[in-house]
Amino acid sequence: VKPLAQQTVAVVGLGLMGGSLAAALRGHCEAVVGVARRRETLDEALRREMIDRGTLDLGEALQDAGVVVLATPVRTVLSLVRQAGRFLGEGSLLMDLGSTKREIVRAMASLPSGIQPLGGHPMCGKERSGLAAADPALYRGARFVLTPLARTSAEAIVLGQELAHAAGALPLVMDAAAHDRKVAITSHVPYVLSAALLSAAVEASGREPGLWPLAAGGFRDMTRLAGSDPRMVLDIMLTNRDNVLAGLDLLQARLSEFGALLRRGDEGGLAERISGARQRFLEVRR
Amino acid sequence: VKPLAQQTVAVVGLGLMGGSLAAALRGHCEAVVGVARRRETLDEALRREMIDRGTLDLGEALQDAGVVVLATPVRTVLSLVRQAGRFLGEGSLLMDLGSTKREIVRAMASLPSGIQPLGGHPMCGKERSGLAAADPALYRGARFVLTPLARTSAEAIVLGQELAHAAGALPLVMDAAAHDRKVAITSHVPYVLSAALLSAAVEASGREPGLWPLAAGGFRDMTRLAGSDPRMVLDIMLTNRDNVLAGLDLLQARLSEFGALLRRGDEGGLAERISGARQRFLEVRR
């Protein structure tokens, strides 16, 4: 396996995540090739010097690249993985940046045996999506989860780590199922909460004119995630259903508990909940 | 009523909110007098030039000041209002910075008739509390809600607005009950959500080692509020119980709806919820 510096890397999908990765990898590999569906996207990426060259032809890009990174919402990744087998060369590395990993590594397991598959999920993002929001510094300091399959070679994992490092991220190898369980509570349930809060506030604002001037920094923090790319979020929910539902149950139980304590004015119980969550977090996070 | 520039302003409680206000008002009035329970707090405030002078004697400070601002958690404000009547001079303005307003204006209604009472709630804050976190720029650009009583004179409201402006904030006069209904959904329910999420994640981390490296920016945003001063939060919950419970019900209904759609894999329904919340927010906020 050639080191990253001698590889041609194809990034499929030049949105926030793909565009940022492409820009971060330029100069760390032989060439970065951007693949998009629209000519204007390639033009913008070329103008901003985020890619060395661009193409609308997926097959052509996959045939020429030793490393391919699928940077689209999860269900598009699934469909691209199914198409990629026909084009990818012997020994090439196929990665993705999808937010859930179980279904993706399952699809990757069906690829021809000469291809090295490696799931990936960089733990960074923004509430804005699209190439316009892309930034070569986006990956800097972020964890970049890598989920190998049983068939993935050690060299392929090393190359994937090299790619993560080149983008400024910290690679972290783990099992796809463990990844999906963890991010359900750290990322997917928080999204549902954020959207539910925004939706409840919109409903309340109908009865309560002049609500928005009283929405300050705390409200903005809590509703930022609700501005995520809807297509990305829908794919996450549908491909991590069991874990998100379990996390929502956990959360609703906590809310119900708190509501019950508040309803009966249980000051001691409320005080314990209010300071307890933060304290236990500071203890266990160590 | 003398303008702010000719007033001695006493700030009772030199924590994040009181300390920041005192520092912001210095130079805009005749003198800022800090009142604290500990000598070290006064020393620190004097050293950082946030107050002109300091005292541990509440009665003395209240007798000398034309404007008094109670800057403590809500239930301490309630107790201070009950004590203040004995000390405050004829025509003086008594304000507070408490996060809920109904119980405070109700307590203020019992003050001797020569005193001008005016509830206040600046919509700013930080996840850190205490004088160490105080910052004269904290109020800059923030809404500063003022909740007058029926007996509050127009001149007293004008003086209160002048004080808000002097701190760099934007005064907004409204009814105490309307304030409490609005902030329940923009501030108090978000706090409960934030603490519930943190607590659910702590619970999940017990079964799921290595959870915290996967908690990135979205998780930090969503759990920042859970770091608020516990005493302040407890007082908020207990003095805005009905509105917080109503807001929690609204929110739980949204979460249950989302969970039901996800459980049965209703893609159309989920897509509508995911993009709908944000879209309606952008529409109604105008």
Distances (CA, A) of B241 to A177, A202, B167, B186: 41, 21, 30, 15
- Per-residue model confidence as pLDDT tens digits over A254-265: 999 999 999 999
- Per-residue model confidence as pLDDT tens digits over A203-228: 999 999 999 999 999 999 999 999 99
Strand order in the sheet with A31-35: A53-55, A31-35, A8-12, A67-70, A93-96, A116-122, A143-148, A170-173
The closest alpha carbon to A128, from A238, A230, A37, A216, belongs to A230
Cross-chain Cβ contact A202/B281 below 8 Å: yes
Instruction: Report ipTM for this prediction.
Output: 0.93
- Spell out which residues of chain A touch residue B174, defining contact as CB-CB under 8 Å: 210
Q: Helices B74-84 and B230-239 sit at what angle, rounded to 10 degrees?
A: 70
Whose tokens are 């930034």? That residue is: A135
Confidence label for A285 from pLDDT (cuts 50, 70 and 90): confident
Query: In this model, does residue A286 exceed pLDDT 80?
Result: no
Enter the tokens of residue B89: 């001079």
Enter the tokens of residue A5: 């510096």
Q: What is the DSSP letter of A35?
A: E
- The angle subtended at Cα A155 by Cα A153 and Cα A158, nearest 5°, is 115
Predicted pLDDT of residue B286: 66
- Name the residue of chain B whose CA is nearest to A276's CA: B199
Distance CA A155, CA B117 (A): 73
Cross-chain Cβ contact B190/A218 below 8 Å: yes
Predicted pLDDT of residue B29: 97
- A74, A100, A170, A281, best to mutate vs chain B, most B CBs in 10 Å: A281
- Spell out which residues of chain B touch residue A223, defining contact as CB-CB under 8 Å: 281
- Per-residue model confidence as pLDDT tens digits over B117-129: 999 999 998 878 8
Identify the three-state secondary structure at position A111: coil
**pLDDT, chain A, mean:** 96
Contact B160, B93 (CB under 8 A): yes
Cross-chain Cβ contact B258/A248 below 8 Å: yes
Confidence label for A281 from pLDDT (cuts 50, 70 and 90): confident
- What percentage of chain A has pLDDT greater than the value 70? 100
Cross-chain Cβ contact B178/A208 below 8 Å: yes
Which helix or strand (DSSP H or E) is residue A17 part of? helix A16-25
Distance CA A242, CA A244 (A): 6
Size of the A and B interface in Cβ pairs below 8 Å: 263
Cross-chain Cβ contact B258/A211 below 8 Å: no
Predicted pLDDT of residue B110: 97
B174, B225, B258: residue with CB nearest A192? B258
- Spell out which residues of chain A touch residue B175, defining contact as CB-CB under 8 Å: none
Cross-chain Cβ contact A190/B247 below 8 Å: no
- Name the residue of chain A whose CA is nearest to B172's CA: A213
pLDDT beneath 50, residues of chain B: none
- Spell out which residues of chain A touch residue B245, defining contact as CB-CB under 8 Å: 259, 262-263
What's the whole-number mean pLDDT along residues A66-87?
A: 97
- Name the residue of chain B whose CA is nearest to A199's CA: B277
- Name the residue of chain A whose CA is nearest to B250's CA: A200
Cross-chain Cβ contact A195/B274 below 8 Å: yes
Query: In this model, does residue A284 exceed pLDDT 90?
Result: no
Predicted pLDDT of residue B280: 86
Cross-chain Cβ contact A265/B241 below 8 Å: yes
Distance CA A148, CA A108 (A): 10
pTM passes above 0.95: no
Predicted pLDDT of residue B59: 97
User: Which distant-in-sequence residues (6+ apart) come within 8 Å of A241 by Cβ?
Assistant: B262, B263, B265
Number of H helices, E strands in chain A: 12, 8
Distance CA A53, CA A35 (A): 9
The closest alpha carbon to A36, from A51, A54, A50, A23, belongs to A54
Predicted pLDDT of residue A127: 79
The closest alpha carbon to A265, from B281, B260, B235, belongs to B235
Do strands A53-55 and A31-35 pair parallel, antiparallel, or not at all (unpaired)? parallel
Half-sphere exposure of A81 (CA within 13 A, CB side): 29
Distance CA B77, CA B100 (A): 10
Neighbours of A226 (CB within 10 A): 23
Cross-chain Cβ contact A218/B189 below 8 Å: no
Instruction: Supply φ then ψ for residue B46, to 5 degrees.
Output: -70, -45
Neighbours of B140 (CB within 10 A): 14
